[in-house]
Structure 1
Amino acid sequence: MKKLSFIALVLFSTLSIISCKKFLTVVPKTQMPQNVLFSTEGGFKDALTGAYIQMKESGLYGLAMTQTTMEYLTSSWDVTNNTTEQRIGLFNYADAGVEGSLEGIYAKEYAVIASLNAILGQIDARKDVFTTPGMYETIKSECLAMRAYCHFDVLRLFGPIPVTTDAGNMLPYVTKLSTMPNPKITFDQFKQALLKDLAEAELLVKDIDPITQYSLAQLRSPSQTSVFNPADTYMAYRYLRLNYYAIKGIQARAYLWFNDKDKAYECAKLLIEAKNTDGSPKFRLGTSADMTAQDYVLTAEHIFGLYDFNMYAKFTTNYNGGILKKGTSATTITNQLYGNTGTDIREANLWELITLANQAKCYITKKYKVVEKPTNIAADFKQIPMIRISEMYLIAAEVAPLAEGQAYWATFRQSRNISTSILPTDPLQRSLEVVKEFRKEFYAEGQSFFAYKRINAPKANFLFAPSAATLNYLIPVPKTDAVN
């Protein structure tokens, strides 16, 4: 095991394979002594950039947590018989291939957390190296928020069903880089640690984050001739980082998971009502015009997204190559998913029938279809959506007082060009109705399994669940977990 005086510099190289026995330890290929790396403000910035690069690896949010493994759990893609992908959709967690896929996610989430803890373990003691106003607060806030984001997804994936927390795994909430195993804690203890990180992250940047003062367009174009001219462009492009509003978005998700409906609504409402200085919405719901402009991922909705240089290549391989596909006729997507509305902008714009090299036809989503070399930054849509404003509308629709929830529901459905329906008065039926939209809205974003698990949705409400599947939301912690 490497000495803790070294941490991974994944900005310059990828992590080497992490031993199953060392999930909470980073073993890097390229190393730099901490006293050198953290001797300058630039070193802290590089280390945090490295953590973002870890997040968007294919084994995490670059594919597994958004488009592949998490979507196989909800049978979003056609699969071949007797494959790991099929067994994931059958919830066969004892299968070696399934174990390996889920174990990889667990390991990589904690590897990101370890990198963040390396930064957080040094930042207060070395606060004097920061010379740019607000940089210390920003970097520390982003580290805390990212640590919470990763822990929260570990909890959602491997933790208990939140409506029945007496059954299910206990998990470690890791706040220090250490060679010693970290103790597993109760659901409530995990909740408190998560909310503490988010509260501290929020307090650090609430009054200084440029995203609260400038529009997304202005943040995208920093210059001496622009309204937005930061002393350090590291403070630009805040929508690609865990900014103040992203923290509120994680809080909205977390409070919803913990069934604190009032606070979930409070956070979602703050984001929906966030305004630019000219009174326009900070984050607006996407429209058919965005899709006409080939912004299928609806970047105007992104409260937090990850920029993926490889999105074009991934789309070419996984979607155009027919690896991630669903159905061979319009029935599967148009009828089963969208209800054959004939108007839904997702139904009309996000899917296409392609012919593969073997002449077979299949439907693929265009959500991640991008131009390889866009002509300008405004036309560069290579963003993996991590938190979107549409999710905040759906959270508000579910948990706000009924009349207010109905108004958010109507606004959301209007943006998708579908007729407004009346939300049920019964809380569970209301949740089930909203989750139907989650299924449509976050296809290929890895959110549907969490939506179903949160309310312990029965199989009858689990769209595309195989007839042979026995629904099971309780995923075992990997057998080789280092904290056992």
Structure 2
Amino acid sequence: MKKYIVSICLGMFLFSSCSNWLDVKPKTTVEEEEVFSRELGFKEALTGAYIKMASTDLYAKNLSYGFLDILGQRYQINAVANYENPLWYTFPSTYTESYTEAIWSKMYNVIANLNNLLYYCDKNRDVFTTEHYYEIIKGEALGLRAFLHFDLLRMFGPIYKDNPTAKRIAYRTEFNQEPKEMQPSNVVVDSIIADLKRAEILLTNIDPLNFEFPKTEDGNSGTGKDGFLEYRHKRMNLYAVKAMLARVYLYAGNKTEAVNYANQVIDGKYFDLIGDATDVLRSKEIVFSVYVDKFDQQVTDITNGTSYLIVKESFLNEMFDVANDGTNDLRIREGVGFDYGTNGIKMRKYKQENLWASTEGTVVLIRLSEMYYILAECAATPGEAAEFLNKVRNIRGVDPVVCTEANRLDEIEKEYRKEFYGEGQLFFFYKRHAYTTFLHCPVNQMAESNYMFSWPDNETLFGKTN
């Protein structure tokens, strides 16, 4: 089961010297040299970064369907600590502090390990014996470093369009525990783009771009393919790098380059919009994702728990604009997008039933539809914006929308609400556009402080806040 993915993950834990290296702590040069003295060490160290990203404190939960989607007001529960409390938007508070501290420390831990890998990638380049492994491993590591810093900036940084020079995070490129001055956010953005551009150069004409979604249990067995280069949708592939450039350029206000890279992802023809009701993950739309081992056990937190549900159908109907779009939308349809039960409504997106080997344990971080939404934001006219939105809406089973200059952003926001349920992107949309309120928001007037995560108490480990 999941032969390639599980084997590479298990190898990570069985590799004893590497398991010591994975934690950021004092160690000897001899241990580092041993890890990176052979090609296998680089492969497993890179895989270790993906494994750490797929923890529940990060993308396996809190940066997908968990904390970020709570902030996006995705759920409606009956509990003492309900999501309608303004303390969810107070940083720090008793509601938020444990989340933000874990996110900060674990994100920078992965970055530190990537920095060490990148250092030895060039220092020990002669240990790479397989053709193109150097370019692929270094390209992925650079892309991941940029990806993680960008999400740190989106969480802990300012509302960028209003305050681009605020010093909120440091872009770390060395493996050490020395404090580093916080940098202006626009300088961080420049560093993110620079890393993504370097990754793009390394991966262009090198990345095998194997995005097949085999339905068989063993996927690629017997084909003679290199398992390390398969399932590219679960690694920082070339098109994930291009999609990130589109995402970052939009964030920075460079619409020309955002359009350029969004079109490159679409025109690459490796991905397709999916309207298949049986494919709940919409597999061929996945540009980048993480693999979560034993995700079926974790998903019970969604399907059987009380933290990630909707009590009243009217709450969900508002979110999916049912009054205008009806219930034909695949994303809300009963038995497709959600399960409707007596104890509440729960999403089906992460159910691990009847999945292909290539989609088991998958949490989507970038999907094709976002590229169309980027084009809609950047379109020269409302009519063109509507065309991009309708390409997705048509596949989802809803009627075309008509955009005006007055309602364009509202229509894009509605699509973010529907499309990225359980994927953590909606809160970032609200912050990027400095929404002072949004659907089901419990704060009367959202300010920058309600969007900006607080530094942990022990931040001096990784930076200087003064």
User: What is the TM-score of this pair, normalised by structure 2?
Assistant: 0.87
The AA in structure 1 aligned to 2:245 is: Q
The AA in structure 2 aligned to 1:261 is: K
CA contact (8 A) 1:312 1:369 kept: yes
CA deviation map 1:241-299 (0-9, x unaligned) = 00000000111110111011111111111111112xxxxxx111121x2x3x2x31222
The AA in structure 2 aligned to 1:400 is: A
> Unpaired runs of 5+ in structure 2?
1-9, 16-21
Equivalence for 2:273? 285
CA contact (8 A) 2:86 2:443 kept: no
CA deviation map 1:152-189 (0-9, x unaligned) = 00000010102111575421000001131112111121
The AA in structure 1 aligned to 2:386 is: Q
State the distance in 1 between where 2:300 and 2:108 align.
Answer: 30
Equivalence for 1:96? 94
CA deviation map 1:125-166 (0-9, x unaligned) = 111000111100000000000000000000000101021115
* Secondary structure, aligned partner of 1:398: helix
Equivalence for 1:3? none
Equivalence for 1:332? 315
2:212 alignment partner, one of 202, 210, 216 = 216
State the distance in 2 between where 1:84 and 1:187 align.
Answer: 33
* Secondary structure, aligned partner of 1:110: helix
Q: Offset of 1:342 from its aligned partner? A: 2.4
The AA in structure 1 aligned to 2:241 is: I
1:416 correspondence with 2:407: no
State the distance in 2 between where 1:413 and 1:59 align.
Answer: 32
1:12 correspondence with 2:24: no
1:266 correspondence with 2:260: yes
1:145-164 to structure 2, matched below 5 A, reads 145-164=143-162
Equivalence for 1:387? 366
CA contact (8 A) 1:72 1:86 kept: no
State the distance in 1 between where 2:441 and 2:297 align.
Answer: 30
Q: Offset of 1:409 from its aligned partner? A: 1.6
Equivalence for 1:17? none
CA spacing shift, 1:42–1:201, aligned 2, 3 Å: same
2:239 alignment partner, one of 233, 241, 245 = 245
CA spacing shift, 1:53–1:90, aligned 2, 3 Å: closer
State the distance in 2 between where 1:133 and 1:25 align.
Answer: 30
Equivalence for 1:345? 330
Equivalence for 1:358? none
1:292-303 to structure 2, matched below 5 A, reads 293=278, 295-303=279-287
Moved more, 59-68 or 167-176: 167-176
CA contact (8 A) 1:325 1:362 kept: yes
CA contact (8 A) 1:338 1:344 kept: no
The AA in structure 2 aligned to 1:366 is: R
Q: Offset of 1:351 from its aligned partner? A: 1.3
The AA in structure 2 aligned to 1:216 is: E
CA deviation map 1:27-47 (0-9, x unaligned) = 499x98111110000000010
Equivalence for 2:434? 456
CA spacing shift, 1:79–1:362, aligned 2, 3 Å: closer
Equivalence for 2:303? 319
Q: CA RMSD in A?
A: 2.7
1:111 alignment partner, one of 98, 109, 112 = 109
CA spacing shift, 1:13–1:42, aligned 2, 3 Å: closer
1:195 alignment partner, one of 193, 216, 227 = 193
CA deviation map 1:102-128 (0-9, x unaligned) = 111111110110110110111101110
State the distance in 2 between where 1:46 and 1:381 align.
Answer: 21
State the distance in 1 between where 2:233 and 2:136 align.
Answer: 13
Equivalence for 1:368? 350
State the distance in 2 between where 1:89 and 1:395 align.
Answer: 31
CA spacing shift, 1:167–1:117, aligned 2, 3 Å: closer
CA spacing shift, 1:10–1:95, aligned 2, 3 Å: farther
Equivalence for 1:134? 132
1:407 correspondence with 2:391: no
CA contact (8 A) 1:88 1:98 kept: no
* Secondary structure, aligned partner of 1:170: strand
Equivalence for 2:6? none
Moved more, 473-482 or 199-208: 473-482
* Secondary structure, aligned partner of 1:148: helix
CA contact (8 A) 1:158 1:169 kept: no
Equivalence for 2:204? 206
CA spacing shift, 1:76–1:306, aligned 2, 3 Å: same
Equivalence for 1:35? 33
The AA in structure 2 aligned to 1:156 is: R
Equivalence for 1:479? 457
Moved more, 233-242 or 164-173: 164-173
CA spacing shift, 1:448–1:258, aligned 2, 3 Å: same
The AA in structure 2 aligned to 1:283 is: F
CA deviation map 1:181-226 (0-9, x unaligned) = 1121111211111111000000001111111xx552479943554x
State the distance in 2 between where 1:154 and 1:310 align.
Answer: 26
> Unpaired runs of 5+ in structure 1?
1-8, 15-23, 276-281, 356-360
CA deviation map 1:400-427 (0-9, x unaligned) = 333543322221110111111122235x
Q: Offset of 1:80 from its aligned partner? A: 5.3
* Secondary structure, aligned partner of 2:12: coil
- Fraction of identical pairs, as percent: 32
CA spacing shift, 1:466–1:319, aligned 2, 3 Å: farther
CA deviation map 1:33-66 (0-9, x unaligned) = 1111100000000100000000000000010101
State the distance in 1 between where 2:322 and 2:283 align.
Answer: 25
State the distance in 1 between where 2:131 and 2:73 align.
Answer: 48
2:416 alignment partner, one of 424, 438, 448 = 438
CA spacing shift, 1:320–1:88, aligned 2, 3 Å: farther
1:254 correspondence with 2:248: yes
CA contact (8 A) 1:54 1:112 kept: yes
Number of aligned residues: 437
* Secondary structure, aligned partner of 2:331: helix
CA spacing shift, 1:28–1:244, aligned 2, 3 Å: farther
